[in-house]
Amino acid sequence: MTATAERPATRGFIGRPVDRVDGRAKVTGAARYAADAPVDAPLFAVIVQSTIARGRMTAIDERATRAVPGVVEVVTYRNAPRVPALPFDFSVPVQEELAPLQTADVHYDGQHVAAVVGTTFEAAREGAALLRIEYEVQDAEVTIAAAHQIDVPEQWFGDDIQPRRGEPETAYESSDVKIDASYVTPAENHNPLEPSVTVAEWRDGDLIVHDSTQWVRGTRAALAKHFALDEERVHVIAPFLGGGFGCKGFFWPHAAIAAMAAKLTNRPVKLVLTREQMFTSCGRRSETHQHIRVGAARDGRLQAVLHDVLSESSRVGTFVEAAGGVTTMLFDIPNIAVTHRVARLDVPTPTAMRAPGEAPGSYALGSALDELAYACGIDPLDVLRRNHANTDPASGLPFSSKHLLACYERGAEAFGWSSRTPAPRSMRAGTELIGWGVATATYPAMRAPAEARVTIGTGGTIDVASATHDLGTGMYTILAQIAADTLGVDPSAVNVRIGDSTFPNAPVAGGSMSSASVGPAVQDAALRAYREAVSLATSSDSPLHGLSPDAIEAHDGTLRAKADPSRAIAYADVAQLAETGTIEALGTSAPGDEGERFSFHSFGAQFVEVRYDEELARLRVSRALGVFDCGRILNAKTARSQMIGGITWGIGMALFEETVRDDRAGAVVTNNLADYHMPVNADIPDIEVLFVEEPDLRFNPLGVRGVGEIGITGVAAAIANAVYHATGVRVRDLPIVPEKLLGSAAAV
Amino acid sequence: MRAFEYVVADSPASARALVREVDGARFYAGGTTLVDLMKSDVEQPRRVVDISRLALTAVERRGDVVRIGALARNSDVAYDPLIAQNFPAISEALLSGASGQIRNAATIGGNLLQRTRCTYFRETRWRCNKREPGSGCDALEGFNRGHAVLGTSSACIATYPGDFAVALAALSARVVVEGDGGERTIALDDFYVLPGDHPERETAVGPGDLITAVEVSVEPLHARSHYLKVRDRASFEFALVSVACAAWLNDERIDQVRLALGGVGTVPWRARDAEIALAGAAPDDDAFRDAADIALAGAVPRAHNGFKVELAKRAIVRALRTVCGGAA
């Protein structure tokens, strides 16, 4: 618990399984989420959504709605404040470019077409149910099979998404072993526990918004643009989120509607999307159709992979599910061709969902490599090892720190992989078939500019502030650990404040980059505060007066002389030495030019056991083990929880999850948590998580790469591969529901 | 959800009177079905009569009959020794339904009246003959993976969703109802009504009828009963198919057998033809499979639920094997 100027981080707290510092507040209800925002006498808005996929409203009958006692306003395109559409150009974080409630046009089923505002939620809900809208219905295309408009985007988030290397077609054709298979992943929805919420209030022309957002600064930018305000006049507050997983990363129209309703009524307005509305209001994981051709030598060495991805998006937004990205960098493949096409449909706009691209892409590629292993007659794990990429094939750069082979080794040993018998249907326990599968996990390490402020107050309080977020992941805790580590205090002495657009800038809580972006900024701020404290203590009338900074160390909330620990001064007293009575330091962190020299990725190995009761087509995941290489782990407990969550979600992706649309109407029919199946506790076995913990100091001073998304990647492939091993049935379209396995007895 | 009046009943008679006073009034016990449907506007009662405090919670033996009070909670009944020992299928069925929290709230009487999970019924935007008689059925050509294959009509293919009543069907239980003409007892077979042209009519109870109890006979056959539920996930999930059965062997032949199916019928589906075929047969897989074929002979699958036919047959074989003492 000591820190010095030369080596500030003693790592006393970093890495430890520290309990969540916000845990007590969350379980006691003291933590205030967006819907708990303490606004005076709010009105309640309930959204009404379209029930046609394409066309226009021809009549809106508000009479019954307005007759409900307590209904005060009905906001539709006829009276909503005019706001501009926000283009998808990275200047504001929108996925859907359609400005809400501006015209009578309907572009998909589930589009917001009205908001009923009442003095109580009940009144608004009843009024919403009574709103009568007539439509002129136009022909709609709501399935990929029906799509006429297929886009071929060249780029997505700065990456070339139609890359080629070598001579893929020729290399494939001349390969000894060929796999040609198509894989389908369905649309899926994020389903965070907390639905999306916006509480909007106008005060003297300023807009104050309590919002369930993964990006307070992004939401601020979007609202400022919508309402033509300087960004400083929009204040976005989001101290806690009940999960986000991507559906709160971008700005969605309901937030603008809340602000419109507040403007029209001149009252604070609280808007909470219903669970049903969440399925069309804030994105989903796009359905993908992936055609993969693998050409390899008989020893399993890859010669060529051609990976064609077709995903779906709306006509009023932009999104590409870049599932082919994994093929460009995950294995050493001399010849590749990756294509991405997007079917533009009359459906809501998709968005990033935990490991966008990698989650469906790792399923398809991981399945194809397992098929290759069986075609070559070699162990699936050996295929992965033999094709290990020592440098990034996409960029040609060396990886900053890659320990994937160690993940395979440790995982195989812990799982007992060597006792696997390769033939499908060859392992049994009692009447059940057993299958073991393996696949590779991968997610890029990303980082964005971030700032944080550390303040040492008069009472010795240590305050950390940054406009970052806690999605339930442990951000409060790791920032407290980092500051505590640097300043030599206990994490419980650090007060972390986040989720406020007025705090120092931080990026979206997405792309698994918060720890690697904000962590180093907090470390920098804490270090600056420490240096300022040392400077004050050594230059003022204090027990440390006259000492060189190098002769000082931090210990238990004090600065003391290394040579004589009895010469000490508490941070509280050091702060008093400052003119203002506080020591305040702004820290910054940003990527430099390291990306020109190294490729930054996290990796992992997923091992899964399934058990299959063939008579009843009953499939269960009975064991799951993940080994991950994610750089330094900041908190062993919260990082492990992230991985358990990711693997659990991977089990859901493999076996259960599917957003089903009625093909005729284009409306989601699994729009509730009874029909949209997620795993329950009884579906989830003990999940073992191991880390190959090698700090990636080429990436940032903390050596951390982020743990948010990699956990889900590879899981569905490992399960599908285990299912093949157990049953002899190769399921190429998720989820693996009983009807796809019913014929298993006849499969081999 | 619409505004409604909430009143509390202090006796079965007052409960019935309070419901009779207002058209479309509803009894409220556990609320696990009704409140959901009120939130989604499918149910719009102007009055809700709370019967949860009535003294109808006892589970007691009267001679050779066990009488389960209509307001007994699902979880209490499942764990009651009278039930677990005499009717294992009932206990297993109750415990396979919903979640612990819901079982603690749900009542036996209310459970009998559980409404279908058909998406097209549960959202008012769709056409549904059950919700709006004569409006049509969007499930017929829609996403019907969960829908029924037995007892369907051109007006409705909605599945009866529950577990408990399937076990009751196999055990020939009776429903005790208090109505305008006093107390009457309805055999479970007669309690549920096939949809036909009037899927809005689901049971034999009418306005003002209050279910007060369920009765099951104690007999050796019923003590050798079993409920098997096959579903997408391991818990908190409706049946894709389920089987309630009981068997009594004599001289290595099937002497008596009862078989009912869930998840596949528009009502809890008693498979009498299969029972007849099994009577006197040797308890082996061939006989079970033949019986399963008979039980599903009338199945009418739709676009997405064809797999239920084979899955139900396999579940029947497994369940019969289990109650006949064979290896699972």
Place of tokens 């805790």: A477
pLDDT tens readout for residues A27-44: 999 999 999 999 999 999
Whether A674 and chain B come into contact, CB under 8 Å, resolves to yes
To the nearest whole angstrom, how far is the Cα of A131 from the nearest Cα of chain B? Answer: 13
Please compute the mean of the pLDDT values over residues A356-373 and round it to a whole number. Answer: 98
Q: Check pLDDT > 50 for residue A566.
A: yes
Tell me if residue A668 falls in helix, strand or coil.
strand
To the nearest whole angstrom, how far is the Cα of A428 from the nearest Cα of chain B? Answer: 15
Inter-chain contact A620–B234, Cβ cutoff 8 Å? yes
Q: What is the structure's pLDDT at A707? A: 95
Interface test with chain B among A51, A670, A739, by most B beta carbons within 10 Å: A739
Q: Distance between CA atoms of B201 and B207, rounded to whole angstroms?
A: 12
Q: What is the structure's pLDDT at A459? A: 85
Whether A125 and chain B come into contact, CB under 8 Å, resolves to yes
Q: Distance between CA atoms of A589 and A525, rounded to whole angstroms?
A: 9
Q: Which two tokens stand for residue A633?
A: 């782990």
Q: What is the structure's pLDDT at A7? A: 42
Inter-chain contact A683–B119, Cβ cutoff 8 Å? no
CA distances from A595 to A281, A447, A521, A588, A592 (A): 36, 10, 19, 18, 7
Amino acid at site B24:
G
To the nearest whole angstrom, how far is the Cα of A736 from the nearest Cα of chain B? Answer: 10
pLDDT tier at A408 (50, 70, 90 boundaries)?
very high
* C-alpha count within 13 angstroms, C-beta hemisphere, residue A594: 18
pLDDT tier at A88 (50, 70, 90 boundaries)?
confident
Q: What is the mean pLDDT of each run of 10 residues along chain B (328 residues)?
A: 96 97 96 95 97 97 98 98 98 97 98 97 97 98 98 98 98 97 96 98 95 98 98 97 97 96 98 98 97 98 98 98 78
Please compute the mean of the pLDDT values over residues A324-342 and round it to a whole number. Answer: 98
Q: Distance between CA atoms of A285 and A351, rounded to whole angstroms?
A: 6
Inter-chain contact A618–B230, Cβ cutoff 8 Å? yes
Interface test with chain B among A49, A109, A614, A618, by most B beta carbons within 10 Å: A618
**What value, to the nearest 5°, has the Cα angle with vertex A650 and ends A648 and A656?**
90
Query: Which residues pair with residue A47 across a beta bridge?
Result: A115
Q: What is the structure's pLDDT at A89? A: 76
- Residues on chain B bordering chain A, Cβ-to-Cβ distance under 8 angstroms: 1-3, 41, 99, 117, 119-120, 123, 125, 138, 141-143, 146, 230, 232-238, 240, 306-307, 310-311, 314-315, 317-318, 327-328
Q: Which two tokens stand for residue B236?
A: 């908190």
Name the residue in chain B with its Cα closest to that of A683. Answer: B234
Inter-chain contact B233–A738, Cβ cutoff 8 Å? no
Inter-chain contact B3–A126, Cβ cutoff 8 Å? yes
For β-strands A206-211 and A149-151, DSSP reports them as unpaired
DSSP state at residue A20: P
Whether A134 and chain B come into contact, CB under 8 Å, resolves to no
Amino acid at site A281:
S
Total number of residues shown for chain A = 748
To the nearest whole angstrom, how far is the Cα of B328 from the nearest Cα of chain A? Answer: 8
Q: What is the structure's pLDDT at A548? A: 96
Phi (first) and psi of residue A550, to 5 degrees: -65, -20
Inter-chain contact B236–A662, Cβ cutoff 8 Å? no
Name the residue in chain A with its Cα closest to that of B139. Answer: A662
Please compute the mean of the pLDDT values over residues A73-94 and round it to a whole number. Answer: 91
Give the list of residues 6+ apart from residue A173 with CB closer than 8 angstroms, or none.
A295
Task: Supply the mean pLDDT for chain A.
Answer: 96
Q: Is A709 among the residues known to form the active site?
A: yes
| Residues in A touching B307 (Cβ below 8 Å) | 738-739, 742
Tell me if residue A199 falls in helix, strand or coil.
strand
Q: What is the structure's pLDDT at A632? A: 96
Q: Check pLDDT > 90 for residue A6.
A: no
For β-strands A432-444 and A450-456, DSSP reports them as unpaired
State the maximum Cα–Cα separation within chain A, in Å, rounded to a whole number.
Answer: 87
Q: What is the structure's pLDDT at B325? A: 87
Q: Distance between CA atoms of B312 and A742, rounded to whole angstroms?
A: 11
Task: Report yes or no: A285 and A360 within 8 Å, Cβ to Cβ.
Answer: yes
pLDDT tier at A660 (50, 70, 90 boundaries)?
very high
Nearest to A33, CA basis, from A270, A361, A358: A270
Inter-chain contact A683–B235, Cβ cutoff 8 Å? yes
Task: Report yes or no: A725 and A615 within 8 Å, Cβ to Cβ.
Answer: no
Q: Distance between CA atoms of A509 and A450, rounded to whole angstroms?
A: 11
Q: Check pLDDT > 90 for residue A12.
A: no
Question: Which H or E element spans position A198?
Answer: strand A197-203
pLDDT tens readout for residues A299-314: 999 999 999 999 999 9
Task: Report yes or no: A83 and A103 within 8 Å, Cβ to Cβ.
Answer: no
Interface test with chain A among B4, B233, B317, B322, by most A beta carbons within 10 Å: B233
Please compute the mean of the pLDDT values over residues A203-231 and round it to a whole number. Answer: 97
* C-alpha count within 13 angstroms, C-beta hemisphere, residue B261: 33
Q: Distance between CA atoms of A134 and A56, rounded to whole angstroms?
A: 9
Q: What is the structure's pLDDT at B167? A: 98
Quickly list H helices, B22-140. 34-39, 74-79, 81-86, 88-95, 100-105, 108-112, 119-122
pLDDT tier at A8 (50, 70, 90 boundaries)?
very low
Q: Distance between CA atoms of A636 and A628, rounded to whole angstroms?
A: 12
To the nearest whole angstrom, how far is the Cα of A249 from the nearest Cα of chain B? Answer: 29
A241: number of Cβ within 10 Å: 27
Burial class (CB within 10 angstroms; exposed 0-12, middle 13-18, buried 19+) of A541: exposed
Helix-strand-coil split of chain B, %, nearest 5: 30, 25, 45
Quickly list H helices, A178-252. 216-226
Task: Report yes or no: A539 and A547 within 8 Å, Cβ to Cβ.
Answer: no
Please compute the mean of the pLDDT values over residues A263-289 and round it to a whole number. Answer: 98
Task: Report yes or no: A711 and A642 within 8 Å, Cβ to Cβ.
Answer: yes
Per-position DSSP letters for A683-706, written without gaps between them: G---EEEEE-----TTT-TT-B--
pLDDT tier at A3 (50, 70, 90 boundaries)?
very low
Q: Distance between CA atoms of B68 and B56, rounded to whole angstroms?
A: 8
Query: Which residues pair with residue B248 across a beta bridge?
Result: B256
Phi (first) and psi of residue A228, to 5 degrees: 55, 50
Reported ipTM exceeds the 0.85 cut: yes
To the nearest whole angstrom, how far is the Cα of B321 from the nearest Cα of chain A? Answer: 12
Inter-chain contact A683–B317, Cβ cutoff 8 Å? no
Query: Which residues pair with residue A555 across a beta bridge?
Result: A2, A558
Q: Check pLDDT > 90 for residue A11.
A: no
Task: Report yes or no: B247 and B319 within 8 Å, Cβ to Cβ.
Answer: no
Burial A446-477 (b: 16+ CB within 10 A, else e): bbbebbbbbbbbeebebbbbbbbbbbbbbbbb
A159: number of Cβ within 10 Å: 16
Give the list of residues 6+ apart from residue B120 with CB closer than 8 angstroms, or none.
A669, B126, B127, B128, B137, B138, B139, B142
pLDDT tens readout for residues A148-205: 999 999 999 999 999 999 999 999 999 999 999 999 999 999 999 999 999 999 999 9
Catalytic residue among A188, A553, A584, A709: A709
